[in-house]
Structure 1
Amino acid sequence: MSTRTFRITVRGVFDGLSDAQRAELLAGAAEHDVLRAAYTPEGHLSYDIAARPAFTFRFSDSGEEEEDILEAAERAEEAARAWLTGRGYGFKNLRSSAEDLSQAPLGKRQRRAARSSGR
């Protein structure tokens, strides 16, 4: 059996932030810029609090079965919830989407490489 790689995106909106919390997020904004976004096992948070209160966590996970993606999504949501709650940040509208990379369509270069290696 092969290991499947999952990418989970957890989105939400900061809610009820104090002025101090907002200032703290603004101070750390460069570290959480969307241009630095990556899917990681521990999760990567990106936001632009100056523009809007939305945030995105990106997680990578793995499993053996196709159904494992549901548990991976639950773990990602719980990790995001724990990170936010642990820092006292209010939030709402937490939702996730997950992708099994073994099911993702091949890009143009990947199709070309697969054709050339099959010869």
Structure 2
Amino acid sequence: MSTRTFRITVRGSFDGLTAEQHAELLAAAPEHDIMSSAYTAEGHLAYDVAVGPFFTFRFLDSGEAEEDVLDATARAELAAESWLTERGYGFKRLTSRAQDLSQAPLSKRQRQAAARGNA
């Protein structure tokens, strides 16, 4: 069986932040810039609290079967909740979306590369 790669996005919003927590997040904002976000195994947090309370975690996981995406999504949600809770950040409205990359359509460049490989 082949390994499938999953991209899981967990979104939510900070809730009830103290002035100190808000300042802490602002100070760390360059590390969590939305423009440099990536899907990683440990999860990458992106936010811009200067604009709004919203955040996004991006996780990369894998499994062998299509059904493994459910477990991967649950792990991602738990990891996001744990990260926030360990730091004392309140949050609300967590939602998640997962994509099985083996099911994703190929881009034009990928189709062209595949065609060259089969020629």
Superposition TM-score, scaled by structure 2 size: 0.99
Identical aligned residues as a percent: 68
Superposition TM-score, scaled by structure 1 size: 0.99
Which residue does the alignment assign to 1:111? 111
Moved over 2 A (4+): none
Which residue does the alignment assign to 1:87? 87
In 1, Cα distance between equivalents of 2:56 and 2:22: 16
| SS of residue in 2 equivalent to 1:85 | helix
Q: CA deviation at 1:36?
A: 1.4
Gaps of 5+ in 1: none
Which residue does the alignment assign to 1:28? 28
Which residue does the alignment assign to 2:49? 49
Letter in 1 for 2:12: G
Which residue does the alignment assign to 2:58? 58
Which residue does the alignment assign to 2:39? 39
In 2, Cα distance between equivalents of 1:55 and 1:40: 16
CA RMSD of aligned residues (A): 0.4
Letter in 1 for 2:106: L
Q: Deviation per CA, 1:32-65: give whole Å up to 9, x if none.
A: 0011101000000000000000000000000000
Q: CA deviation at 1:117?
A: 1.0
Q: CA deviation at 1:115?
A: 1.1
Which residue does the alignment assign to 1:72? 72
| SS of residue in 2 equivalent to 1:28 | helix
In 1, Cα distance between equivalents of 2:95 and 2:73: 9
In 1, Cα distance between equivalents of 2:17 and 2:110: 45
